[in-house]
Amino acid sequence: MPETFIGQLNERLTKKRDELKNNLHQSGKQIDAELSARTLEHWHSPLPTARALPKRPAYAIDGSRRRANLVNGSTVFVAQALVMGESVNEPLTDIEILPGIVRAETMDRFADLMLRRLEINLASEYAAKIPQGSILYLDGAIYGMLPQLYPLRGEGIPSDRDYGTLLLEDYRNLFARCAARDILLLSVAKTNRQALLSKIIQRDLGRSEIIEITDSALLDALTERKPGYSTPLLLGRHSFEQGKSNVVLEDARVRDEPAIISFFVRLAEMDDLLRVDVPANCVGRGERIGDVDAEFLDAPSARPLVELLQADYGGIQVYNALLYVTDLEVRLSKDKMYNIYLPMVAEVLGEELRIDRSERRFVD
């Protein structure tokens, strides 16, 4: 039977080859000559020559989560985060069960914020413990998350599980502790689906109609997968302009939080792009979110951060040595969720937890 599927797939591939190939490269076809030229002005290659840097204590935080849908409509969430570094290997785990009355989109947001809250809560705690002047690596983008931290409310969500508001307070504590103790908070995202850089470039070109093309697609299409980095952006109010994001920016405390410096880097030929976010005050700048919209800085201002990432680069598979190891240790597999964690939950609750049929067929 599997051979039949393979044969049919090969037939469909052959028949739809031109259409599929066109869709594969459709993003690049949206880029006109003017947009191409301006984007390449903001791409700097080659990278700085790698050099030995003064050693600083370094720590990394990453997290992982799983969910299990039960036959009674409830959903079990398990999230875990881990901080690793010099003489530190500290986990943090949490569990939640939401009833079937919670809307699907609310449940998805709950799961995302629950995990991020564990990570940032752990980061905030350790920013007060690790040596002054350390580097603290985070997985994922900082700026993309901040506008999403409006209150988490909905039927079936306990009032004390407003992870949007709780997470916002954790970020504020983390920024303050990093500033007070000279800790470099460096956030590295392995994937990026936002169209932030591309929209800002089009805005600066004075375009009234802005095409939707993600930053990853734009840079992948134009940079020939060569090593390099993009001109750093200083980001403030820009992503808080629409919908519920306004609720976050209306908080005076948020407006007074540090602006975020963000750029992309490719550390080796043919490697994937990484997005790097760092609070402005971690590199000696005083701008706050409420002070700026979005503006380009001078390219050399990113070089010290690029050099730091080069020093910890371990190859195409190991984009950052410490984050890579932390990711491997914290990753929560489906097997562990279903065969270890769920039986533990069932035993403690004294309940039979039966996962729904669509998932059960791959576990039993």
Kindly state the tokens that stand for 356.
């729904």
Q: What percent of the chain has pLDDT over 90?
A: 79
CB hemisphere CA count around 330 (13 angstroms)? 28
Q: What are 216-260's pLDDT values in tens digits? A: 999 999 999 999 999 999 999 999 977 788 889 988 889 999 999
DSSP H helices, 141-294, are: 163-180, 197-204, 215-222, 245-249, 252-255
For the chain, the average pLDDT equals: 92
pTM of the complete model: 0.91
Kindly state the tokens that stand for 130.
């690790």
Strand ranges, E, within the chain: 43-44, 58-69, 75-85, 88-98, 135-139, 184-189, 228-230, 233-235, 260-266, 274-279, 294-296
Residues 6+ apart with CB under 8 A from 335: none
Q: Is 312 exposed, middle or buried (0-12, 13-18, 19+ CB in 10 A)?
A: buried
Residues 6+ apart with CB under 8 A from 314: 320, 321, 324
Q: Is the pLDDT of residue 72 over 60?
A: yes
Nearest to 61 by CA among 121, 147, 109: 121
First to last CA, the chain: 21
Residue 140 to residues 38, 120, 145, Cα–Cα distance (Å): 27, 11, 9
Q: What are 147-156's pLDDT values in tens digits? A: 999 999 999 9
Q: What is the DSSP letter of 131?
A: P
Q: Is the pLDDT of residue 210 over 80?
A: yes
Query: pLDDT category, 197, cuts 50, 70, 90?
Result: very high
User: Could you tell me if 81 and 116 are in contact, meaning their C-beta atoms sit under 8 angstroms apart?
Assistant: no
Q: What are 326-352's pLDDT values in tens digits? A: 999 999 999 999 999 999 999 999 999
Q: Identify any residues that bridge with 266 across adjacent strands, giving them in sequence order.
A: 228
Q: How wide is the angle at C-alpha 94 spanned by C-alphas 340 and 165, nearest 5°?
A: 155
CB hemisphere CA count around 177 (13 angstroms)? 23
Q: What are 265-320's pLDDT values in tens digits? A: 999 999 999 999 999 999 999 999 999 999 999 999 999 999 999 999 988 889 99
